[in-house]
Amino acid sequence: MDDQAPQETPQLYLMTPTAFEVDTFAPQLAALLDAVDIACVRLTLTTEDESTLSRAADQCREIAHARDIPLVIDRHVQLVERLGLDGVHLLDGSRSVRDTRKALGADAIIGASCGTSRHDGMNAGEAGADYVSFGPVGESTLGDGSRAEHDLFAWWSQMIEVPIVAEGALTAELVEAFTPVTDFFCIGAEIWHADDPVAALQALTASLR
């Protein structure tokens, strides 16, 4: 993903559903990528079944790469090179960033979810992460209920050069409020349950246009 100043319009970063039927989801993904400008796609399947992951990754990679969009995968560092993916999104904060960078090399995209921890985010950036993700930004029943507040993003965008991603329980109001202080909005669960995910994404991000 391209580095950019937070003063510019944030880019959109798309998460897949955590479970999906490949043959059903593939045309949905293609339609969305054709309709909306997406900077990166993240495969977020919760399954540990390697054949399921591989089949999904192959389909998503083909669709994303045909549109010059990188595809990263949650957690599965060992599958990145094998499946021809562009990188990995780590869910353990800064803990495995350095080892992952050594394993995948300088060209791979490595992102790190750092929850609400400024300290963890800084450590991830120093260890070689290409971007740091904070969240949830909105009200969520996941985790302990804490949120990544606007102040964290405002401080980061002023002090740290590593690109920052806002994710988790986003609303149209939050997108508008966080636009001046983030580089990317990561959107997934907010749209996939809608009858028309493209329309849902466009409504969610209307303030960016």
Backbone φ and ψ for 174, nearest 5 degrees, come out as -70, -40
Q: What is the distance, to the nearest Å, from the Cα of residue 67 to the centroid of all Cα atoms in its chain? A: 17
Strands 164-167, 131-134: parallel, antiparallel or unpaired by DSSP? parallel
**Domain for residue 2, yes or no?**
no
Q: What ranges in the chain are assigned the alpha helix state H?
A: 22-35, 50-65, 77-80, 97-104, 118-127, 150-159, 172-178, 189-192, 197-204
Supply the CATH number for residue 49's domain. Answer: 3.20.20.70
In this model, does residue 4 exceed pLDDT 60? no
Flag whether the pTM goes above 0.75.
yes
117-169 residue pLDDT tens = 999 999 999 999 999 999 999 998 767 789 999 999 999 999 999 999 999 99
The contacts of residue 21 (CB under 8 Å, 6+ apart) are none
**Assigned domain for 188 exists:** yes
Give the C-alpha separation, 153 to 118, whole Å. Answer: 9
Residue at 166 is within a domain: yes
Does residue 17 lie within any of the structural domains?
Answer: yes
Domain count, the chain: 1
Q: Do the domain assignments include residue 4?
A: no
Does pLDDT of 6 surpass 90?
Answer: no
**Domain contains 5:** no
Radius of gyration of the chain (CA): 16
- H or E element in which residue 12 lies: strand 11-15
Is 160 among the domain residues? Answer: yes
pLDDT tens digits for range 159-208: 999 999 999 999 999 999 999 999 999 999 999 999 999 999 999 999 99
Residue numbers of the domain that contains 118:
11-208
